[in-house]
Amino acid sequence: MLGLKRRASKRRKSMVREYSEIILMAVFLAFFVRTFFVQAFKIPSESMEDTLLVGDFLFANKFVYGAKMPFISKRLPAVRDPRPGDIIIFKYPGDKRTDYIKRCVAVEGQSVELKGTQLYVDGELQDEDYAKYFHGSAFGPFTVPSGHVFVMGDNRDNSADSRVWGPLNKDLVLGKAMFIYFSWNGNRHRVRLSRIGNIIR
């Protein structure tokens, strides 16, 4: 009888160890994927309307710009740098903790100027069917310094962006927005089914 109890106790310990190893491996894989490849983000404000709505949940590709290594100020090699038109997630320069999302409109060396509701980059008028204006404003011309990009919200009159706090240091960039995996309309308390799976452009 004592032998049966010992064998049962060993089996329980073996099962506990096995499940613990599975859980630890799952946590490690989740941390690895989140750190170097893909991370989920939620849209908290109206600054990217109508491209992205409050309550949209999206995945960002962290690999393309070179993911940051945890605990050290190093990055993996990037596939490429941010380009004009990319929607990027980054740490807000003001506190370097809060996640922000905006559209890159110009890169280092380029000149940016906003005249009313028309955006010019290097003197050329940009075709921006995604941009939303109520009144328009004036900004620039401004030349983006080395190591930086210039970002703006698509909802141009309702966005605190590089026009307010300056060009964005590329070291603060986290990733490129990919697609919406869930969307919740908080005002109507329902899921926006038509937005799920939308590729972000």
pLDDT score of 74: 77
Would you state the pLDDT for residue 23? 64
47 is an active site residue: yes
Determine contact, residues 111/82, Cβ cutoff 8 Å.
Answer: no
Fold that domain 40-195 belongs to in CATH: Umud Fragment, subunit A (2.10.109)
Q: Where are the domains of the chain?
A: 1-36, 40-195
Compute φ and ψ for 149, nearest 5 degrees: -130, 160
pLDDT of residue 163: 97
Q: Mean pLDDT of residues grouped by 10 in the chain (201 residues)?
A: 54 64 56 60 95 96 84 80 97 93 98 97 97 94 98 97 97 95 94 97 93
> Catalytic: which of 62, 68, 91, 102?
102
Model pLDDT, residue 98: 94
